[in-house]
A and B are shown apart, each in its own frame.
Chain A
Amino acid sequence: MKTIELQINGSTHEVSIEADETLLQVLRNRLDLTGTKKGCDSGGCGCCSVQVDGKVVYSCMMYAAGAAGKAITTIEGLGGGGTALDPLQQAFIDAGAVQCGYCTCGMIMNASELLATTKNPGEDQIRHAIAGNLCRCTGYTKIVDAIKLAAARTGG
């Protein structure tokens, strides 16, 4: 075991980990941040997506020890970290973009980087951006609608 410091959603967490633990494992199993989901655990499905220094990554492919000192944002940190929802979260509800919900947090963490870097993205841009996130329920149409809705609400 070794002790590292992780900066998550603006707070510092001191956590004891095994050297081979992924960021995903530490978030879920040691810090109870279970919004980040475990899916394929091999960098294929996207439901473990979090942001590290503002860039969306697969947390199942990043070692927790390697994430020390970086600014990690999980779904729990969106919307200011309290009960208020991020515009993307509200748009996913309003557009009916959530069915089983397992992909949703990863989808939103991905879309959050897209909207931070691209104003008013077109449908092709949105679909290309979320290509690394699988949804097996919605057929993606309502997810794309939700991201468009959030973009429009946040000023294009």
Chain B
Amino acid sequence: MALNLDDYYLPASLQEATELLQRYGAGAMVVAGGTFVHGLEVRGLLTETVALVDISRLGLRGIGASSKGGVSIQALTTLAEVAAAPLIGKNPALAAINDALHYPPRQILNAATVGGCVAAAAPLYDLPAAFLALDGQVQTSLAGRQRSIPLDEFFVGLFESALQRGEIITAIDIPAPAARTASAFLKLETNANDLSLLNVAVRLTLDKAGNCADCRIILGGGVGETYVRATGAEAALRGQAAGEAGFAAAAAAVVDDFEAVEDHRASAAYRRHIAQVYVRRTLATALARLG
């Protein structure tokens, strides 16, 4: 990749990584799996980058149960390791995560990391949409200080996140899901090599009567500069019976929740149509997982 780099660093500790990032300032970029560097370069966004700080030797790898019944995925865990994790695979509440990991090729699953996927702040990426639907929290470290950022406050714009200079993602935490919760993710792409036209991730929680007690509906792909939380669609479904009529109401409402992108892949009108179809299908997939 044709960058004009002074050096490529492999720090052995978070402290060393922070020092490098502070020393180079805007000239440094963190890499982990490295699979998005090319994407940034071809968009002309790395012309000032003179140092890559490869944090892949810092540990920060693995998936564990968090203290309150949720799941904590350390930042350098690869997508392949998430896809193979029993803690996630057997839980219908977290199924959107595995759905999202169905799409990337093996080579990307093996290299790309969870932290990198989130840090990229690209709404075209699949996995963060699933994390958003599951109310994920980003754990970070900056010069020894830790903080927790809710994912719905993390994505600021296209390739822009709430991370401060030198701040490194250490984990993504998923809180314990409520009882009777399932999730799902669905992607529309024209072919496996292209960017998605539209992604939908949902989380559905039922009450004892089978009504929707709570839900999240997240849109990604060609929906603008950041992911969109479809609050209108959520409101249309909340309190309704979880089934065809309620899902149709959510689908009808979703068109007012986002501004569809118009590009060479698809018209805005097509994306609005597909959003309705995919909201309905994704909700039905989640419901089916509740048996």
Contact = CB atoms under 8 A, between A and B. Distances in A.
B34 A62 contact: yes
B205 interface: no
Contacts of B31: 63, 66
B54 A56 contact: no
B105 A46 contact: yes
Contacts of A136: none
A55 B110 contact: yes
A130 B34 CA distance: 21
B110 A61 contact: no
A130 B105 CA distance: 8
A42 B42 contact: yes
Interface in B91-115: 104-108, 110-111
A96 B2 CA distance: 37
Interface string A82-112: 0000000000000000000000000000100
Contacts of A131: 105-106, 192
B106 A129 contact: yes
B1 A20 contact: yes
B143 interface: no
B107 A22 contact: no
Given A20-B1, A43-B38, A129-B106, A61 B111 contact: yes
B188 interface: no
Contacts of B54: 63, 65-66
A20 B2 contact: yes
Contacts of A43: 35, 38, 107-108
B105 A61 contact: no
Contacts of A66: 8, 10, 31, 34, 54, 56
Interface in A113-156: 113-114, 129-134
B7 A19 contact: yes
Given A19-B8, A42-B42, A63 B52 contact: yes
B7 A2 contact: yes
A44 interface: yes
Given A43-B38, A63-B34, A58 B107 contact: yes
B67 interface: no
B290 interface: no
Interface residues of A, number: 32
A55 B34 contact: no
Nearest to A54: B110
B6 interface: yes
A132 B106 contact: yes
A133 B108 CA distance: 11
Contacts of B5: 18-20
Nearest to B32: A66
B13 interface: no
Contacts of A71: none
A58 B37 CA distance: 13
Contacts of B6: 19
A41 B37 CA distance: 12
A8 interface: no
Contacts of A33: none
Contacts of B104: 132
Interface in B75-134: 80, 104-108, 110-111
B4 to A, nearest CB: 7
Contacts of B34: 61-63, 66
A57 interface: yes
Contact of B111 (A22, A57, A110): A57
16 contacts: A2-B7, A19-B7, A41-B38, A42-B42, A46-B105, A57-B111, A58-B35, A61-B111, A63-B1, A63-B8, A63-B31, A65-B8, A65-B10, A66-B34, A129-B106, A132-B108
Given A61-B37, A132-B108, 10 more contacts: A2-B7, A20-B4, A41-B38, A43-B35, A46-B105, A63-B1, A63-B54, A66-B56, A129-B106, A132-B105
Interchain residue pairs A-B with the least CB separation, the first 9: A132-B105, A65-B8, A19-B5, A55-B110, A20-B3, A19-B8, A20-B5, A58-B107, A57-B111
